[in-house]
Amino acid sequence: MTATQHPPFDDETTVHDVVIIGTGFSGLAMAVQLKRRRNDSFVLLERANDVGGTWRDNTYPGAACDQPSHMYSFSFRLNPDWSSIFSEQPEILAYLQATAREEDLLSHVRFGADVELASWDASSHTWSVRTSRGTVRGRVLVSAAGLLSEPRLPDIPGLADFRGDVFHSARWDESADLDGRRVGVIGTGASGIQIVPRIAPLVDRLFVFQRTPHWVTPRGDHRYSELERRMYRRNPEKLQELRTAMFWENEERFAQRAGIPLLLAKVENVALTLLEEQVPDAELRARLTPDYAIGCKRILKSSDYYPALMRENVELVTGGISHIDHDAVVDAAGVRHEIDVLVLATGFEATEPPIAQHIEAHGQTLAERWAGGAEAYQTTSVSGFPNLFLIGGPNTGIGHNSQVYMFEAQVEHILGVLDLMSTRGVDAVEVSRSAEVAFIEAMEAKAATTVWMTGGCQTWYIDDRNGRLTTLWPDYSHTFQEQIPWVDAESYVSV
Amino acid sequence: MKHELYPGTVAGTVEVDGAVVGYQDAGEQRPGRPVVVMIHGTGGSVESHFFTLFPMLASRSRVVGIDLGDTGGGPLDLDHLVAQVLAVLDERCPGESVSLLGYSMGSCVASATAAAHPARVESLVLLNGWARTDNAMRLRFDLWQRLHTLEDRSHFRTFMVMNVYGRAFLNSIPYIGPRPWSQVEQMCDDYATGPSAARHMEMNSRMDIADRVVDIACRTLVIGSRGDQLVPLEHSHELFGAIAGSTLAEVAGGHASVTERPAHLFHLVDRFLREPGAFTPGARVDDDVVLQLAAFERKSA
């Protein structure tokens, strides 16, 4: 579907109730809930030509979610047909496309509309959102632009001089031919370890450039049988039971990150056993063994990454990259690794969400407001920014459970504030600074005991500018659902 | 060998009529939160039954786990176990009113303590507990005792793995898929009970505290497992009915809730202690924390 197939852009005199930026899991969750509450006055702004966010963008070979699909989906749209525990990207994208279609959201989406600047107009109490296709106006602005949507490119000297194909994992170049070629993958995080096993059998040589080894635990790929899927279709309560089981299994994992040595040791043992079983070569094993506490960084899950590294045509390069020239990556030891195709599996901008530069109120952008680190009341609203709500903003990242779970709690909070506004009969509210500060202080106290702050971690979870844990929720996710939907009327001041 | 279940745990013993009772005291006492005192089940210990739940709770408040002792000699007496609990309370929390958490047989000890000593117990959590051993349970307990005396323990171990774990736990490994049969065999081989298990079980087979539990006056959280074969869920329903200030929560899985679903138990107990108002006597705890917007939609419809 393309932007041109859609009706002409909005007339600027129309004021929608809600303008949503993004059509990934978070934006669609918000829209479905508005729609189901029979509110039709909303638009979704989408820079691409299809819905799906991360799951539209990340088409690299092997792309899959490392959360079980039955958990990594909407509570209000359980899907009995997931093909396996960890379904791959095409299936997740299809789920989101079906959601948009079946919940009748497509006519609300403005495709090809890249947000340039959203500004709060204090006199009319509206957000005016200028996009690449025109301007839309709304009372309430929901930024659902994603937690990890903006590719982060590595700062390696000479990258621009490389003459072969080069692309970021989230912008996979389908036209680049890998068959029988020499390929380099820079980065061994969540994307890198999914790509490597998938492309290793295709290529002539594969160089895997690892900066820091991750902890890796096993991941199965059990495919649900026809019997199981039929049972879930006919007995939705069994499907819910499965999801509930997955949820609490995930929650048990949080205890492993909460600084409890015995539980950390248990999961570290699982990871080391996998490494020992799959990598008999002691020298290679040493280079793959992390020197920091498990849980510091995201614990990766894969049962086929280490075996891929054992292949004859795959070489793990550690010790750092010195520079890149026209046809090679040169490592710190000065060795040239000649390469035809370079894949940058270097992750995403996290501590500084780029959308913050495009949202402005009272002459200040959200990025400026967050110069000292991103923060938000109930993770969702920001003082000085009336009628603005963020889904997947500061302190909503979760390593041990489903990100969609976090989004849903935030959507519930936003619906609560919308109800508060209509009960009060006002068209604008803003969170008080004191409520915001109290929330942030309580959260920091909780973060202080977790492995991220105590484990000698160097990770994107922590903001360099202030040493604060600004991306992750530093607790079990069930406490997020207990706390975040709650709307304290006192904290929201009518403006 | 005992592990330190939580950083900074203070361990020690007290003696009660010749029985050596162990305790493990961990976590930080927080204002407005009672000390949680944990009592294990048949043939268990703080470590074997609360390996995950103890540190989870200790990260939120002060927790004292009790390793029940035994005098040997004549049949085990429930009131003697109650005396052991009181002795640990006197040693570690003198004059305080605590929250007692008992698992399986430990729930009987906790109930009897709360009924007889209301001033020492401000709240009660009964995990996979019961008030009165009925005929269906007694069949299992009798078979347990007969198998336990056999020289070849393999029958006993298989019998226990079959009784203790729920289907989902036996059939699947989170994040992996189906649990291979070899692992189930390994679980059978590894199954072990503590030295007093047979004496605990003999006491269990004649357990009847129906007339005591009705006297329990403190607020109580009764948690039963839907797939519990050893102490079926109906027994939690009885406790829920009998105890005026009780709220019922059901979890999925078998009798080994402490192994199968520790995070769910933690969530329920932590909230029960942190937010007493959220637990209405006579009501059941809902699953909204998992159902999320699906539950919200139903409520606001």
B299 touches chain A (CB under 8 A): no
B56 compared with A354, residue with greater pLDDT: B56
Amino acid at residue number B96: E
B50 touches chain A (CB under 8 A): no
Sign of CA dihedral B175, B177, B183, B184: positive
Minimal Cβ distance to A36: which of B290, B295, B297:
B297
Tokens of residue A297, six digits: 């960084």
How far the first Cα of chain B sits from its last, in Å, is 55
User: Over the stretch B216-256, which tens digit does the pLDDT of each residue have?
Assistant: 999 999 999 999 999 999 999 999 999 999 999 999 999 99
Q: For residue B177, list chain A residues with Cβ-Cβ distance below 8 A.
A: 85, 220-222
Q: Give the Cα separation of A259 and B59 in Å (integer).
A: 9
Predicted pLDDT of residue A474: 85
With beta carbons less than 8 A apart as the criterion, state whether A72 and A93 touch: no
**pLDDT for A1 beyond 50:** no
Split at pLDDT 50, 70, 90, the class of A3 is very low
User: Over the stretch A121-165, which tens digit does the pLDDT of each residue have?
Assistant: 999 999 999 999 999 999 999 999 977 677 889 999 999 999 999
Q: For residue A262, list chain B residues with Cβ-Cβ distance below 8 A.
A: 3-6, 51, 55
With beta carbons less than 8 A apart as the criterion, state whether A2 and A26 touch: no
Distance from CA of B274 to the nearest CA of A (A): 12
Mean pLDDT of A414-420: 98
**pLDDT for A182 beyond 90:** yes
Predicted pLDDT of residue A454: 56
**pLDDT for B301 beyond 50:** yes
B280 touches chain A (CB under 8 A): no
Minimal Cβ distance to B52: which of A245, A246, A263:
A263
Strands B172-173, A182-186: pairing kind: unpaired
Nearest CA in chain B to A220: B176
| Beta-sheet strands, E only, within B40-112 | 63-67, 98-103
User: Over the stretch A380-405, which tens digit does the pLDDT of each residue have?
Assistant: 999 999 999 999 989 998 888 999 99
Tokens of residue A7, six digits: 């009706």
Q: What is the pTM of this model?
A: 0.94
Q: For residue A476, list chain B residues with Cβ-Cβ distance below 8 A.
A: 263, 266-267
Q: Give the Cα separation of B298 and B301 in Å (integer).
A: 5
- A64-73, A259-268, B288-297, range with the lowest pLDDT: A259-268
Predicted pLDDT of residue B211: 98
* Surface of A (238-267) touching B: CB under 8 A: 240-241, 243-252, 254-255, 258-263
Distance from CA of A382 to the nearest CA of B (A): 23
Nearest-CA neighbor of A386 among A442, A440, A431? Answer: A431
Minimal Cβ distance to B55: which of A262, A478, A482:
A262
CB spacing of A251 vs B297 below 8 angstroms: no
A407 touches chain B (CB under 8 A): no
CB spacing of B271 vs A74 below 8 angstroms: no
Distance from CA of B126 to the nearest CA of A (A): 20
Burial classification of residue A198, based on how many CB atoms lie within 10 Å of its CB (0-12 exposed, 13-18 middle, 19 or more buried):
middle
- Three-class SS of A96-145: HHHHHHHCCCHHHEECCCCEEEEEEECCCCEEEEEECCEEEEEEEEEECC
Q: Give, in degrees to the nearest 5, the angle at Cα A295 between A289 and A300.
A: 65
Nearest-CA neighbor of A294 among A348, A256, A326? Answer: A256
Mean pLDDT of A194-201: 97
Q: Give the Cα separation of A293 and B295 in Å (integer).
A: 38
Q: For residue B290, list chain A residues with Cβ-Cβ distance below 8 A.
A: 75, 243-244, 247-248, 478
Q: For residue A248, list chain B residues with Cβ-Cβ distance below 8 A.
A: 261, 263-264, 267, 290
Nearest-CA neighbor of A104 among A49, A38, A55? Answer: A38
Minimal Cβ distance to B267: which of A29, A245, A478:
A478
Across the strands, what pairs with A117? Answer: A130
With beta carbons less than 8 A apart as the criterion, state whether B39 and B106 touch: yes
If you search the block for the tokens 């050893």, which residue do you land on? B230
Mean pLDDT of B187-198: 94
User: Over the stretch B155-189, which tens digit does the pLDDT of each residue have?
Assistant: 999 999 999 999 999 999 988 899 999 999 999 99
ipTM of this complex prediction, to 2 decimal places: 0.96
Mean pLDDT of A440-467: 66
Nearest-CA neighbor of B285 among B271, B301, B274? Answer: B271
CA of A13: how far to CAs of A44, B109, B203, in Å? 17, 71, 79
Predicted pLDDT of residue A392: 93
Mean pLDDT of B127-144: 97
User: Over the stretch A423-435, which tens digit does the pLDDT of each residue have?
Assistant: 999 999 999 999 9
DSSP string, B89-107: HHHHSTT--EEEEEETHHH
Q: Give the Cα separation of A261 and A173 in Å (integer).
A: 43
User: Over the stretch B54-108, which tens digit does the pLDDT of each residue have?
Assistant: 999 998 899 999 999 998 889 999 999 999 999 999 999 999 999 999 999 999 9
Minimal Cβ distance to B292: which of A220, A251, A405:
A405
Nearest-CA neighbor of B38 among B262, B203, B250, B226? Answer: B262
CB spacing of A244 vs B289 below 8 angstroms: no
User: Over the stretch A31-73, which tens digit does the pLDDT of each residue have?
Assistant: 999 999 999 999 999 999 999 999 999 999 999 999 999 999 9
